[in-house]
């Protein structure tokens, strides 16, 4: 009996078995009821006692060796099969991360930053004043005579009188324009100066293009020998930078404000072709601001000699120019605090205001 030959043969078969069912076949062939080793075991009965003892021992050793080899191969195959399954049956259990919740800058704040950066480059200083004004700063000093219809023109919110003050100073209003800040600055400072003021203003009005609270930006320049050419140059520079265009037709239309003479309203060129709105050369016009040369009466009321100093002023609605620049159709949505609106129209807090930088 040559167990060494058989061992070699069976070992080769075991190593060749590349999956568990092939290995099971080998096991049956070697150790099954009719297997090679089992068959040999059966021949032991007909042997001489001495030969049987020796052959029996050899066969037992072979049997355990083969069984061990089969078991080793089986666990190797199991591991291999598991590795294959793990490689093919993959499941991506990672979740895409939620977008980081971050606040955005409201278009009003963004536009104010842009205005500030443009006018600061032209040497304007930012000034502020109170939202609750008295009648003198909001109207009288600005050449609105008492009882003048223009006071009603602005749909003023009147507040109860202040018992600690007298006359026009006792009458309180929510400021209807930021021109009151200019009055405050002129009465407290000596010319020359260039200032802008920005802030909330209030008028009793509410529709697609009016809200009871809105924002204005006004500018004032007082110096010697100031004329409308300066006003025009200043506004031209502003409009090009603000709307980020190389060319922009400006139209000065005669208008009326009690505090400026002459007064004008400024339109910018635009095109409404194809239902959209494009700022720039076109055959249409859009009003963006009011302006004029400061009325001599206003200068006098604020203690400035109109013979020595002149100046120009301009004022605009911040929502209005923001709507034009950023294509926001309804003014009322600015103040609804709808987070979907804010994330759509808001600005990245880490970005600088997108002022156009020109040579």
Q: Which residue is nearest to ligand PHE (CB)?
A: 315
Task: Classify 120 in phi/psi space as left (phi over 0), alpha (psi -120 to 50) or beta.
Answer: alpha
* Residue 185 binds to ligand PHE (criterion: CB under 6 A): no
Half-sphere exposure at residue 149, Cβ-oriented, CA atoms within 13 angstroms: 1
Distance CA 73, CA 19 (A): 9
**Nearer of residues 314 and 345 to ligand PHE, judged by Cβ:** 314
Q: Which of 291, 318, 321, 323 binds ligand PHE (CB under 6 A)?
A: 291
Pair 311, 220: CB distance under 8 Å? yes
Beta-ladder partners of 285: 269
Least Å distance, CB 178 to ligand PHE, is 7
| CA nearest neighbour of 232 among 306, 289, 278, 309 | 289
Quick count: other Cβ atoms within 10 Å of Cβ 185? 19
Among residues 73, 112, 143, 179, the one that binds ligand PHE under rule CB under 6 A: 179
Q: Is 314 in the site for ligand PHE (CB under 6 A)?
A: yes
315 in contact with ligand PHE (CB under 6 A) = yes
217: closest CA among 109, 133, 296, 121? 109
The residue to which tokens 């009322």 are assigned: 332
Closer to ligand PHE by Cβ: residue 177 or 184: 177
Cβ closer to ligand PHE: 6 or 293?
293
Tokens at 29, concatenated: 């062939």
CB nearer to ligand PHE: give 139 or 334: 139
**Kind and range of the H or E run holding 185:** helix 179-188
The number of C-alpha atoms within 13 Å of 38 and in the hemisphere containing its C-beta is 10
319 binds ligand PHE (CB under 6 A): no
CB of 294 vs ligand PHE, minimal distance in Å: 8
From candidates 141, 181, 231, 313, binder to ligand PHE by CB under 6 A: 313
Q: Looking at residues 127 to 146 of the shown chain, list those that interact with ligand PHE (rule: CB under 6 A).
A: none
Span 201-260, contacts to ligand PHE by CB under 6 A: 218, 257, 260
Binding site for ligand PHE (CB under 6 A): 177, 179, 218, 257, 260, 290-292, 313-315
């Amino acid at each position: 009996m040559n167990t060494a030959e058989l061992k070699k043969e069976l070992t080769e078969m075991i190593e060749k078995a590349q999956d568990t069912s092939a290995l099971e076949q080998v096991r049956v062939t070697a150790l099954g009821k009719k297997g090679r080793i089992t068959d040999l075991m059966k021949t032991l009965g007909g042997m001489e006692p001495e030969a049987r003892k020796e052959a029996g021992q050899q066969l037992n050793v072979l049997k355990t060796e083969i069984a061990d080899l089969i078991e080793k191969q089986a666990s190797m195959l199991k591991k291999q099969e598991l590795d294959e399954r793990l490689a093919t049956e993959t499941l991506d259990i990672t979740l895409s991360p939620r977008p980081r919740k971050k606040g955005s800058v409201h278009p009003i704040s963004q536009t104010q930053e842009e205005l500030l950066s443009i006018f600061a480059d032209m040497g304007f200083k930012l000034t502020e004043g109170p939202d609750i004004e008295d009648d003198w700063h909001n109207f009288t000093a600005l050449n609105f005579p008492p009882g003048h219809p223009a006071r009603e023109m602005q749909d003023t919110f009147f507040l109860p009188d202040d018992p600690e003050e007298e006359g026009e100073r006792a009458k309180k209003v929510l400021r209807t324009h930021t021109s009151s800040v200019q009055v405050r600055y002129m009465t407290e400072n000596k010319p020359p100066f260039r200032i802008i003021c920005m802030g909330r203003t209030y008028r009793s009005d509410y529709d697609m293009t009016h809200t009871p609270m809105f924002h204005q930006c006004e500018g004032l320049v007082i110096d010697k020998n100031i004329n409308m050419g300066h006003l025009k140059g200043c506004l031209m520079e502003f409009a090009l930078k603000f709307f980020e265009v190389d060319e922009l037709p400006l139209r000065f239309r005669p208008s009326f404000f009690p505090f400026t003479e002459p007064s004008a309203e400024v339109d910018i060129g635009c095109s409404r072709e194809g239902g959209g709105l494009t700022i720039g050369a076109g055959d249409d016009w859009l009003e963006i601001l009011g302006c004029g040369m400061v009325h001599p009466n206003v200068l006098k009321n604020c203690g400035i000699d109109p013979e020595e100093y002149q100046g120009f002023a301009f004022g605009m609605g911040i929502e209005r120019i923001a709507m034009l620049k950023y294509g926001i159709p309804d003014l009322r949505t600015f103040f609804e605090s709808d987070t979907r609106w804010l994330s759509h129209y808001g600005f990245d807090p880490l970005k600088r205001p997108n002022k156009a930088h020109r040579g």
